[in-house]
Amino acid sequence: MKQHPYQVVITDCDHGSIEEEKEELSPIGAELVLAQVREEEEVIRACKDADGLLNQYALLTRRVFEHLPKCKVVARYGVGVDSVDLKAATDLGIIVANVPDYCIDEVSDHAIALILSLMRKTAFFNAKVKSGQWDFHSGIPIHRIRGKTLGLIGSGKIGLEVAKKLSSFGVRVIAFDPYLKTNPQGIELKNFDAVLKESDFISIHCPLNDSTRHLIGEKEFKKMPKKPILINTSRGPIIDEKALIQALQEGLITGAGLDVLEKEPPDSVNPMLAMENVILSPHVGFYSEESISELKRRTAKNVSDVLMGRWPGSVVNQEVKGKTRAPMSG
């Protein structure tokens, strides 16, 4: 029987094929096992001999790690590492890696698709034409995009990409981002209230945390004299949804394009489901065939890098440096 120098276990994943992972790990001779386990005991049983883990949702607790004596690396599919007890991993010398940038193009394209669709009213007209109304007057007024102001809340990887792409439409870009030290090219950094006041479209690209939960609420909607279009492809709870619905009903904003909601999926009685000036999508911004393929490949590469003694592209628990189980170079 063929001996493998390493065993790598996928605890669980919701994608069909694991071809990319195999392609990435077979050159180092790793045996790849797809376990599809979620419960703590099952995870321990499936992973007890693993040198590395790929993980989606299964909780990797301190107890799990304490039962995995050979495990040197956990690579999480995607950005978030909520499923991993980072402190326990660090204490035990296990490197935790993620892939923070596999869908920048997809999310930025999605935000722009929502802006363009609301500005040109394509989703609105599509519904009208299919219900037998061939008359553009139902969509009046439509305004020219060139010359309008896009306000970004959060100007990191995705926000900057939206800015870059939408600039070619002749749009001025302003941004509020309290952590940006330098002014990114072509973007005017402003304070929060100035972005609310000056923007024709506001697009949210900051993370959800204690300081951004309900960042946009009743008070903020009253500070938007240009009645902007509001786009959220980040996380639902950044907008106070009750206040948003009221703002839409009172005409304080022109429309909303939302890939994320406070409650996903929305209740069937959510009034936004019946609003013609609201476009909803089911938290799909991250997805394309290419982004998922890239995610799978890069997650597996994070494991093969560590097993070969190389630091992976993105290490979440930097404090593990100096006490890793894997012998690392550099």
- Annotated active-site positions, please? 235, 264, 283
**Interface with ligand NAD includes 256 (CB under 6 A)?**
no
**In the bound complex, what is the minimum distance in angstroms from residue 211's beta carbon to ligand NAD?**
5
**In the bound complex, what is the minimum distance in angstroms from residue 285's beta carbon to ligand NAD?**
3
**Interface with ligand NAD includes 190 (CB under 6 A)?**
no
Binding mask 105-124 toward ligand NAD (x if CB under 6 A, else -) reads --x-----------------
**Interface with ligand NAD includes 103 (CB under 6 A)?**
yes
Closest to ligand NAD by CB, 134 vs 179, is 179
Binding-site size, ligand NAD (CB under 6 A): 28
Closest to ligand NAD by CB, 30 vs 204, is 204
Closest CA to 205 of 231, 229, 243, 172: 231
Q: Which of 52, 154, 184, 228 binds ligand NAD (CB under 6 A)?
A: 154
Closest to ligand NAD by CB, 61 vs 291, is 291
Q: Which of 6, 65, 125, 286 binds ligand NAD (CB under 6 A)?
A: 286
In this chain, which residue has its C-beta nearest to ligand NAD? 156
Specify whether the backbone of 283 is left (phi greater than 0), alpha (psi in -120 to 50) or beta.
left
Closest to ligand NAD by CB, 103 vs 196, is 103
- In the region spanning residues 75 to 94, those forming contacts with ligand NAD, defined by CB under 6 A, are none
**Interface with ligand NAD includes 158 (CB under 6 A)?**
yes
Q: Which of 72, 205, 296, 301 binds ligand NAD (CB under 6 A)?
A: 205
**Interface with ligand NAD includes 234 (CB under 6 A)?**
yes
**Interface with ligand NAD includes 265 (CB under 6 A)?**
no
Which spans of this chain sit near ligand NAD (rule: CB under 6 A)? 103, 107, 153-159, 176-180, 205-208, 211-212, 233-235, 259-260, 283, 285-286
